[in-house]
Amino acid sequence: MDVLQLQKQFVDYRASLYHEGFLDEQFTQLQELQDENNPDFVVEVVSLFFEDSERLLNELTKALEQQSIDFKRVDAHVHQLKGSSSSIGAQRVQKVCIAFRNYCEEQNIEGCLKCLQQVKHEYSLVKTKFETMFQLEQQILTAGGSIPV
């Protein structure tokens, strides 16, 4: 595939992520912060998001396995996850976190467990999407092209 085709493929893929609600305006802002002095900014921030999320999901799993669940602790973790997902524009993850927090407030164990499943699912989806998008970017760069804004 030549550079133009690769670029088109990338642009279409990225547009689909917005269209399907995986990404929102916040991600656009993130991209706008990147420049020649900080060419890896987006990748670095998204990597931080992966680390953050994986840690939080582990903590959440442990917390919800306890005999006596500490809902305040669960809520604190979800709050963090909501914060980081909203900051990078991972809209679907953020939305599940909002529902999750409501169940924490109600101390609804079933609701929380359901949300944990959902958020793990949404996280793994968006992670794959990001990885694919970064791969497409790499292909363009390797072919000697530049990433379309």
Partner 1 sequence: MVLGKGASSSLSMKMADGAEDMVNNNNFTVLVVDDDPLIRKLHDMHLKNFGLRAQVVENGKKAVDLCHVGANFNLILMDREMPVMNGAEATKELRAMGVNSLIVGVTSCGSPNEKQAFMEAGLDYCFEKPLTPDKITFLLQELNKNN
Residues in contact with partner 1 by CB under 8 A are 26, 29-30, 33, 35, 37-38, 41, 44-45, 48-49, 52, 76, 79-80, 82-84, 86-88
Q: How far is the CB of 1 from partner 1 (least distance, A)?
A: 33
Q: How far is the CB of 125 from partner 1 (least distance, A)?
A: 19
User: CB–CB of 59/77 below 8 Å?
Assistant: yes
Closer CB to partner 1, 38 or 135, in the complex: 38
Closer CB to partner 1, 7 or 84, in the complex: 84
Residue 113 half-sphere exposure toward CB, CA atoms < 13 A: 7
What contacts 96, CB < 8 A, 6 or more positions away? 115, 118, 119, 122
| Dihedral over Cα of 26, 28, 32, 37: its sign | positive
Q: How far is the CB of 126 from partner 1 (least distance, A)?
A: 14
Closer CB to partner 1, 55 or 121, in the complex: 55
Write phi, then psi, for 147 (nearest 5 degrees): -75, 125
Residue with tokens 């909002």: 98
Closer CB to partner 1, 21 or 83, in the complex: 83
Residue with tokens 């305006």: 25
Q: How far is the CB of 49 from partner 1 (least distance, A)?
A: 6
